[in-house]
Amino acid sequence: MTLGNLSAGLCATCIWARRVESDRGSVFLRCELASRDARFPKYPRLPVRQCAGYEEEKKAAPDDPVS
Q: What is the largest CA-CA distance in the chain?
A: 40
Predicted TM-score (pTM) of the model is 0.74
As a whole-number percent, the residues of the chain with pLDDT over 90 amount to 70
Collapse the DSSP code of 21 into the 3-class scheme (helix H, G, I; strand E, B; otherwise coil) and give the result.
strand
Q: What is the mean pLDDT of residues 16-42?
A: 95
Q: Provide the pLDDT for residue 9.
A: 93
| Region for 25 from its dihedrals, namely left if φ exceeds 0, alpha if ψ lies in -120 to 50, beta otherwise | left
